[in-house]
Amino acid sequence: MIVVTGGAGFIGSNLVRGLNRRGHTDILVVDDLTEGDKFINLVDNQIADYLHKDEFRQRLAQSQFGNIEAVLHQGACSDTTERDGRYMLDNNYRVTLELFEYCQEHKIPLLYASSAAVYGAGPVYIESAVYESPLNVYGYSKFLFDQVLRRHLDTLTAPVVGLRYFNVYGPNEQHKSRMASVAFHNMRQFQAEGHVRLFGGWDGYADGGQLRDFIYVDDVVDVNLFFLDHPEKSGIFNCGTGRAQPFNDVASTVVNTLRLQHNKPALSLKELVEQQLIRYVSFPDDLKGRYQSHTEANLSELRAAGYDRPLRDVQAGVAAYTTMLFEQGRI
């Protein structure tokens, strides 16, 4: 049995689908469906069982599981604006620590979701404590467990891999509301209002020019499965494309992809702005000093570990994602 925590969520459900493609169906999904909308992410997936996260945690503490092959731990509060440190550290740090201790005791491989939020404002994104300075308690909750892994790397009884996700986008994120990707919000906004709004210039960046490392969820799944296939490898690895692209690229790709669906020609960024298909709003005061204006994963460690597959850029990934949702009638 493979356990996927957060398995009804965005990345988790895509991991379940990736495992299904390999023929794995003996999968225990752990999640919280109190707000049940996420169920839709599992409808097309094959799983063996579902447990609420609290019941799973209780049963784990009592060592009631005997046949776990691996744990893909994606469950967490990913709201970077959440200020409740007690909740965040219990939900993100403490649960991960408990899983780590269980997996080490029972010699079970553990892959867990870390985050590029550990780097704070950057500007260097290399897997080293020298460059880590989270800006919020979410980032700190991920940072804190990464330090636990580092202390135990030389004495592990089973492989442990932490993947620092950068800005992930793709199918099954519709339930994430304001925490959904920029691409998803751009699509919904354009379909509803006929234009896309981006933050204006700040922190030395032009309008819509803030840069992020945007990675398609299918690439994230492939990286996870690579490490599942290589139990000899442990450590903390960036999971991005190694390519920083401006928000303007995302918005332009969304708008032009949707225009093409209606047999309208693609336009340059200048033309999109002139026709007010992309508009800029003042950068929010409450985000100043708490916002990553430029993220770009250094992939040296990932490539050194042997992961050599190409990673989609925004133009390819966002276009494919937008086309898929449009054809499914979901935007």
**What is the model's pTM?**
0.95
pLDDT at 189: 97
Domains within the chain, CATH numbers bracketed = 2-169+216-242+297-312 (3.40.50.720), 174-210+245-293+317-327 (3.90.25)
- Report residue 161 as tokens: 């891999």
Catalytically active residues, by annotation = 138, 176
Q: Looking at residue 302, what DSSP letter applies?
A: H
Identify the CA nearest to 322 among candidates 146, 187, 194.
Answer: 187
pLDDT at 79: 75
* Polymer length of the chain: 331
Consecutive 10-residue averages of pLDDT for the chain (331 residues) = 97 98 98 91 97 96 93 88 84 96 97 96 94 93 97 98 98 90 97 97 94 98 98 98 98 98 97 98 87 92 98 98 93 84
Distances (CA, A) of 87 to 10, 77, 120, 134, 177: 21, 9, 20, 17, 20
Q: How far apart are CA 111 and CA 158, in angstroms?
A: 11
Distances (CA, A) of 270 to 96, 106, 245, 267, 285: 46, 58, 17, 8, 27
